[in-house]
Amino acid sequence: MTRHDHEDNDVAALMTSSLAEQADILRTWNMDAAGLLILMSPCEGRCFFCAQPAVTHPPPSDWTPWSRIRDLLQGNESARLQRLCIGGTEPTTHPDFDRSLTLARDQGFEAVELMTSGLRLAQPGVAAGLREAGVRTIASPIYSTDPHTHNMVCGTPCHTKLLAGLDAAQAVGIEVRLHTLALRRTLDGLADLAAMCLDRWNTPLSLAPARPKDGVWDYGVEAPSLDEVASAADHLPAGRIQLTGWPDCLLPDHPRGAAQVIQLYFRGQARDYGPRCTDCTARPTCPGLVQALLQRDGAASLHPI
């Protein structure tokens, strides 16, 4: 698996570790013990900040091989974990997705947390089938209450299908967890989006920083500064929004959190600290600031506690 400069070495190592090793690493990060299965396969989205041939049309040689999936999950005979997080490009497009769930259940996993676009959930019987196979939580991205805005971000007309899929998952008893990216083009609608997530699916919206990808999108133009993010989120009720992947000095009174597979995804961004962070009381546990933002804006936007 190729590691890029914008990715964190520790998370890259986590993705290729055994289940027992993964559980130990997560405990040191004060996260619940769980396994992490990464399924690389074609993505259905065409999001402007991510889409490239390696994501939308990867050659089959780049898909996660069944041998890797099998070997990882069979490790639960000794690890004895109950929780499995499944992430990747779009796990549900992987040809071995269904039998991965079957093997996970046979190996003793009782609850699967699935990172997915959510689009396939709208198909008849899919949500119920996932619930029967052990999926207890889905973690999906959402960008706006407005279909046009959401579809513009995703590069495909998927807003109606996403909402139907989330409704279907909730109807069969799957917990719905939602996250969005801090983007200049969607910040104005953050309050309405957070309200919809809480009112419709009874979940707070997790707000995360976007990943830089050289040659894919203009990070300098599209990614807001810390001050812009703070301005958009500061007035929102704490129960409607959570922060994940941000330094602790950004809105320190707002709760942190997201589905665990999403926390891991955004933890994977390479980070750093500014000179002003040295004496900050939050430094021992603070995740720092995404390097691309620190390099673009400098440390002036950091406000040590």
Phi, psi for residue 74 in degrees, rounded to 5 = -70, -15
Name residue 93's amino acid.
Answer: T
- Supply the pLDDT for residue 1: 40
- Supply the pLDDT for residue 89: 94
Residue 30: count other Cβ atoms within 10 Å of its Cβ: 7
Instruction: Summarize pLDDT for 238-269 with one digit per residue, the tens.
Output: 789 999 999 999 999 899 999 999 999 998 88
For helices 97-106 and 66-74, the axis angle rounded to 10 degrees is: 20
The pTM score is: 0.93
Q: Give the whole-angstrom CA distance, residue 130 versus residue 132.
A: 5
Based on the number of CB atoms within 10 Å of its own CB, is 249 exposed (0-12), middle (13-18) or buried (19 or more)?
buried
Residue 98 near residue 68 (C-beta atoms within 8 A): no
Instruction: Summarize pLDDT for 180-201 with one digit per residue, the tens.
Output: 999 999 999 999 999 999 999 9
Average per-residue pLDDT for the chain? 93
SS3 of 206-252: the string is EEECCCCCCCCCCHHHHCCCHHHHHHHHCCCCCCCEEECCCCCCCCC
Joined together, the tokens standing for residue 104 give 């996970």
Instruction: Summarize pLDDT for 107-127 with one digit per residue, the tens.
Output: 999 999 999 999 999 999 999
Closest CA to 55 of 93, 21, 81: 93
Would you place residue 217 in the very low, low, confident or very high pLDDT band (cuts 50, 70, 90)?
very high
Instruction: Summarize pLDDT for 139-179 with one digit per residue, the tens.
Output: 999 999 999 999 999 999 999 999 999 999 999 999 999 99
CA dihedral 194, 198, 201, 202 (to 10 degrees): 150
pLDDT(7) > 70? no
Domain ranges, ordered by start, for the chain: 9-271
Class of domain 9-271: alpha beta
pLDDT(3) > 50? no
